[in-house]
Structure 1
Amino acid sequence: MPKVSPAPSPTPLSESQAEDLIHGICFKTGPPRLLGAELEWLVVDAERPGRPLSPERLHAAHGAAHALPLNSRVTVEPGGQLEFSSTPATSLSGCVDALQADLAAVRAALLTQGLLLEGRGHDPRVPHRRLLASPRYDAMETYFDRTGPAGRTMMRATASVQVCVDAGYEEPGVLGHGRRWRLAHLVGAVLVAAFANSPAYEGPYAGWRCARQGNWADIDSRRTLAPPLDGPPRSGWTRQALDTEVMCVRSYDGEPWAIPQGLTFRDWLRTGGEPAYPGLRPPTAEDLDYHLTTLFPPVRPRGHLELRMIDAQPGDDGWVVPVAVVHALFDDPEAAETAYRVAKALADTYGSAPAPRNPLWRSAARHGLADPELRAAAKACFRAASEALPRLGASAQVQQTVGAFTERFVLRGRCPADDPPPPLTATAGKEARR
């Protein structure tokens, strides 16, 4: 087993201290007022979008983006995807305007290199290579390889729109954190179906509208699952976090990171890894913080709620629609009540299995809005969101963008994956067969 040196702050953590830390940092309650988004994009060649880019061109693209003075934090995903993380905004317009300005600047810089940003949930170009080499990604890939290829695909070839909303008030009610936590999971399948944009034409998810969701569901037996929703959010999430396997133990002396198998964080707290992993150091608060970053449920509490089930969207401004719709369904009391009622009635018919393995979520990923029940729920939710956006001060342009998406897709029982495959898919197939 690789040697693991003590962390710079090696004070061991007790189980009760770990529970208290998770309780305190994962749900920061208060009035819902902040909104944020994380947008992941594929980088493609402007002239030959189906041909995978060389590492040199991807590194040059990333360097160009990082050299710009942006409002957002720009990071690189393992497969070379660019991610824009907005600063928390006090309004929808503030969030959208800042991201649009950053995206315009980066697009202009990339265009000088003959490159474009492409919004889709799964990269059809093959082979999928990992661009980034780091202890974190080396350990993550080794861990995921134990259960099959889904983890590598997730790291190298997927992209999403993640919308972040405040946890909500401590008190019960439509804007209380317990209700918002449940709403995020209940309405999640509707969001998967409406924004499905990762169609698969072959492989294990052939015919699915949202192959990305199928891929996430197959990564790990627990790491990507939602916790039970029949109790207080803090308690449920704390149990889920501590009872999930440790992905890796960081080394601080340049040695490879340890990747214990079958060791939950709770086990690590109670035993220090003994007897199965002799010599493993006891966990610290820093280890717990890191462990929480390796959990990938459809809704992740990070003080705020991070909704992670939405595919990256096509077009320059397609991402605006899920950001606006989620904001409306969570932060307008009337729309939130409608969404909760509609989504709960739908979810109740499919049982209590956790997302994303619940049959409703799998139907959303397979069929999108061709599923009649999901189509009806999406129509109700989008109608409620459209009515709420003027009350929330959304600009006319945002309202028109949401309205156009609703007319083109939702009202017709379609999702972006139902559009004819764009040139990237067709060209990728030709390139792969050469």
Structure 2
Amino acid sequence: MNLVYADENGQVFDDPDYIGLARSADMVVEIMEDELIPLPEGATLVSLPHTNAVGLNPETGQMERLEGTQAVGALLPQGFTRLLIPSYVKTDKTQLFPLFGYTAVVWKEDGFYVAARCTDDPEPWNPRNCDVNELELSVKRIREEYPENKLYEHLSNCALEYECLTASNTFLNRWEGAVPVSYSCNAGCFGCISEQPDDSGFPAPQTRMNFKPSQEDVVQVMMEHLRTPQSIISFGQGCEGEPSTQAPLIIKAIKEVRQRTSQGFININTNAGLTDHIRGIVDAGLDLMRVSTISALDDHYNAYYKPRAYNLKNVEKSIRYATDQGVITSINYLIFPGVTDREEEVEAMIEFVRRSGIKLIQMRNLNIDPESYLNLIPKARGEMIGMKQMMEIYAEELPDVIMGSYTHTPDFFHKVTGK
């Protein structure tokens, strides 16, 4: 497997004189054949700024830094979980990578391969399924139908400018749609994609909403999307803070919508720290809940999320309450090779999932600068298991829990589990 690198102009090449390597946390490692899959459709190759590529010289058996090159990583589409990150050395350690989830990539005889695993059906979230012309017409039609709706105005920018597929779904009236409501948050996530402190060094890839929508605006978006039995409308988007901080608005909107239609499913993507608020939202008629987490260990969780007036016990209580009320609960598990697969992380997460009654683990590649993240979190206390083996352990220890990458309707669970 040949090393893949980019030149100063961003053109990508392979070097047959060097074997491609990868990283697990801060360790440079060789890539096993069973860790590789062909580069998926919809993936993007990107150069890692301010780096040199690192490869293995087969003649000397030594790892070497290739001066004048840039390391290359792949950005994977939904449905694929990375197993390793690219191998590189920074040429300027003060420079931070943009907030993306970089995956190790190599060249074999028939094309590019990545260190990843398919964990869900990638088809619904393949960007090629979003026709720009159709989207623009749909945005125009809905904006004309609801000219006073500030939420549609906001979402049109998300769909057309940021190419957010969830926002696009809202206008295309399919699958999971977006209904953002919150401009504030009760956490200060280190890798927040919508709001970063001026001195963080991370450029936020999108802008957080800066207004509170009216109940009428929220209900209009929900009613427009919930037209089919399989539609999902979701609070808690990348362009907003924590949705449960707007619990009164959400509760009233859900109750009004459910008085008017029983179609589709109402979901919330949340950190679940505000347990009383979550209880109110669940009781209003919530169907699905996805809880964002990076760890089931307090010190790791707190270092990344910087929670304000809540902790992991609150999160677990929220999930348990929702589960007990019949809500299908899942976690949005932010994973990073060499960290998520540490022995202590795996053991703690298995127990957390068992106690809280989670039905689905959504594996999501953490968008972060590796060095900054590794310097932030606690040092490893146990062995590194490996991402592939970690997923095998979850499958064995949690046989009733599904591994996936995104939110599904109840029919999916019935189909997979037969329950």
Normalised to the residue count of structure 2, the TM-score between the two structures is 0.27
| Higher-helix-fraction structure | 1
Greater relative contact order structure (CA < 8 Å, 6+ sep): 1
